[in-house]
Each structure stands twice: as C-alpha cells, then as structure tokens.
Amino acid sequence: MSAAVQQAAPAAPATTRFTQWELIGHGGSADVYKVQDQELGVALAVKILKQDHQRDRRYIESLRREVLISRRLRHPNICPIHDLYEGERGVGIVMDLIEGQDLKGWLKEHRGRLLETMPSRIALLKKLCEALSVAHTLIVHRDLKPANIFLLKGSITNPVVMDFGMSTPDDMDVNGALDGGTPKYMAPEQFTHQHPVDLRSDLYALGLLGYELLTDGQIPPCSLKDVAKTGALPMFDASTIPPPSSFCAAIPPALDRVILQLLDYDPSRRPASAAEVRQVLERTVLLDAFRPAEKGAVQIATATIAADTYVVGERSGSRPCDQPERKVRLAAFRVGLGPVTNGQYRAFIKATGHRKPALLDDPQFGPDSHPVVMVSFEDATAFARWAGGRLPTEMEWEVAARAGQAANRFPWGPDEPEVTHANIDNVSNATTPVGSYIRGTNALGLSDCAGNVWEWCANDWDDSLWKTLPANGELPVSQAAAEYKAIRGGSFDSPLVTGRTSFRHKAPAGQARADIGFRIAFDG
C-alpha cells in the first residue's frame, strides 16, 4: 500500500464503552451512576469518587479493595463488583445495577407497620447473618448500616450488602487506610481503638441495626450517634437498654437476649459469630402480640350490666332494619364507659407494635382524650383482645346504651338531643374529648353512645336481625371476616336520628374512617 493511500486512510474512531450516564445515588465520598455497557449490551452501575478524593491514594486503595474482595466473595447477598473504572468521568468501580431501594428508605416507608412486617424483618436479619458469615472468612465490613444494605426490587427479604471499600482483611496493614464507619452504628472499639477491630465490631453494628429494625426506628442509648458533638462515648450497661420486646410484644425473650448481647460494650461478651446469631433467628417463634396485657397496662373504666331480659329494637318506625321490638336474654357483662381513646390506643401500639392509625398524630383528631379513629374492625378486635376483652354484640351495645331501659330512645332518655347532649349533626366538625357532653351520659355512666364516633360491634351485619332472632333471644357472633360489620351510635357528622339507641348501621370490616371508633366489653 502506497504512502499516499496510507495517509488517506482515517484512524478508527475510539469507542466509548459506557454511555447514557444517569446519576442514581449520592454518598459521602462517591456518586453512583447507571450506565449502558455498549460492549456487553447490559445496564450496569459505576461508582465514581468525588473530585476531592480523586488523588487521595487511600480512596483509590479502598476501591481496589472492593474489587478484590468481591472477586473472592461470592454470595447472593453481597453485591458483585466487576472491575476498576478509569476514564473521563474519573476513578471508580463497575458493579451490578441493583434496582430497588436501600434499607434506610424502606424503614422510613414502613414506619408504623412494625407488627405486620415483623416476619420479614427477621428474615432480613437471617440473610444479613448469612452474608456476614461468608464475608467474615476474609474481611470485616466496618460500616454496616441501613444505607449500605440495598433491597432488590424493594424486597426486604432480598438484601444485598454494599460498600466493602472500608473493609479490612485480617492480614492487612491498615496504616494510612480510611478509618471508615458511621458513628451511629460504630462499635465502641472502632472509636477508642482499645480493642482490635474484628468481626465482633460488625456484630455490634448488626445488633444496633437489628434493634432499629425490631423497634420501628428506635436507637438504643449505646449508639455513638452524638460522639462527634460530645467527644465521649455514652456510658451504658447493656442490661439497662429497653429490650426490643418493650416496643413489640411479639418478640420472644431469646431474640431480646441476642440483640442485647450484640450491643455489649465488651467484644468478648458478644456472640462469637454471625452464624451463632442466625441460629437464634432460625429458632425464633413470634409470640401472640395481642395476648392480654399485663395488669395496669391500660385502664378501662366499665359499667356492669346484670344478667336479665331486655328490650331491643323499635316497635315501629321508618327503617325496617331497626324493627321489630324484641325481648332478649343477656348474660352479665361489663362495658367501657366511653369509646377507646387515642391515649389508650397509643399504649397498645407501644406494647404490641401494631400499626398506627392515620390520624393518630393529627392535631384535631389525635389528642389523647379523643376517641381513636381510622381503625378497622380487625384493629378494634386486636386492641380488645390485648385489653383482655372483646367488642360488644349489637344487642349488648344497645342494652348498655339504653341503660337497660326500654323507654330510652336516646342514651339519656326519651327526649330528642340538644346541642349540649352530644357531638352529632355537625355540632363540631371533628371528634371531641370522650365524656365532654355530660348531659348525654346515661344512667349507667356511659358517655358518647350518641355521636362523636360510630362504634364497631362484634357481629356481622344482618339487615333482618331482629326479625330472625331465635326464640331464646341469643345472638350467635360470627368469627368469620365478613365483608360488613355492624356499627352503632352515630358520629359527629351524622344526622340526629343516628343517635337513637335503636339505630342500626353497617360498614365494611376492612374500612378505616375518621368517624368510626369502638368501645370494648368484658364477660361477667
């Protein structure tokens, strides 16, 4: 080929392997981008050091360690890293693109749903123990925390541990290496250097993470989260830390014990390995969170209705479902003087970890003295069981609201309500403190039987209930999750007629509304 021809031939254009850079995450020392790998035809992630760290050999070395560690550790719950990146964007690493969210975001989204997500939270801890058991054959992570645990497709049962760049092989000279660690989750020895940083430091971080996970975001007093301000470690005794079960009654003693052992100041008193912790988790059987509360956990003032024959229903009226008037026999029972309040429900949530109603923190609906609302039939039943009681049947509710007197069309007697009798018919645009309407209190001392909130009853809705009652007048209570349940009493925004003691209504069992609450009953 002639020189002229050679000179005319254009040079082959340089190809750019990674394209379509999209920023998807920020960190203290690096940013993460989603890219398209043109050579392999797949989407990947590239973590690029921030400009300030591009020439710091410690950060460069941390990236190299991540690649080397990943090549030696293969586990489905450890993020795979493929290679170093050096290009126009700077210095970084190439790794799998993991779509989903980190555990920190998941915890925030699921705040107030501790009990219903407890099995998944324990499953996550098991997976973390599996990953750490593998990792600890070679390295110590040194910065285990929710932000470094990514959830594949947002699933808490499919975690991936990230950021092994601060990890330290047991045989590595760490002089000049990055200190690593986040104070909030850091083991005391990482801060004081009084003990070697080894796998037990990761176990301390696992304990703190586990405590946060099992208590719906509570941070134990042993955390070093304020150490930057105070310059000193918090003084604590692990035995004085409130156990996770004090935030969720479903947590058994063995799980309490292992979490608190992980948080021991002395590394030698912590569990010996992640595998040992996993064995405890494997044997964990959640308790019934709604078993009756310890005496004194919640105070429910009650009135007693004696065993007797009582009148329910209406002799005549415009609504067939309220008719006819019938005599029913009831066994003795006790019933709450008022609807369950927000304050009482807060005690239930704190003890059991049950989900928090939507308006519990609302300034208008959420004060302690107001009736709890936005609770489904299931929520009301759970509270009643925890308090050692149950929901009243429709017959019991009506007899109690009438104070046992057939002539009481309203709780206080036969007369139509005035504005001082009840929070009904839009006298107020929201709930009011339980017992505020003293003139509306009946002869047994029951308040709020008309207005304020509708109240769940135990039985399924039956439009023809009074017509079909058996001769003995006993109402069988269905335990099935029927679509509609009976509600009684009217609410703050319902018409006056709903405050009649005989007025019957219904609502879907799964519905949570701002005008529905409940009171509870007890046998005998």
CB contact at 8 A, 35 and 95: no
Q: Which residues pair with 214 in a beta bridge?
A: none
- Name the one residue in this structure whose structure tokens are 């309407």: 437
Q: Over 273-317, what HEC string results?
A: CHHHHHHHHHCCCCCCCCCCCCCCCCCCCEEEECCEEEEECCCCC
Q: Which of 98, 94, 93 is nearest to 76 (CA)?
A: 98
CB contact at 8 A, 68 and 138: no
Mention every residue, 6+ apart, whose C-beta is less than 8 A from residue 186.
201, 205, 224, 227
Give the Cα separation of 169 and 65 in Å (integer): 9
Rg over alpha carbons for the chain, rounded to the nearest Å, is: 32
**Residues tagged active-site:** 143
Q: How many CB atoms lie within 10 A of CB 9?
A: 8
List, in sequence order, every beta strand (DSSP E) within 136-198: 139-140, 149-152, 159-161, 168-169
Q: Give me 83's structure tokens.
A: 């290679």
- Exposed, middle or buried by CB within 10 Å (0-12, 13-18, 19+), for 501? buried
Q: Which of 219, 228, 218, 210 is nearest to 280 (CA)?
A: 210
Give the Cα separation of 391 and 385 in Å (integer): 9
CB contact at 8 A, 201 and 189: yes
Q: Which of 52, 78, 66, 249 is nearest to 165 (CA)?
A: 66
Amino acid at 72: R
DSSP 374: S
Q: How many CB atoms lie within 10 A of CB 112?
A: 17
CB contact at 8 A, 463 and 476: no
Coil, strand or helix: which one is 158?
coil
CB contact at 8 A, 84 and 67: yes
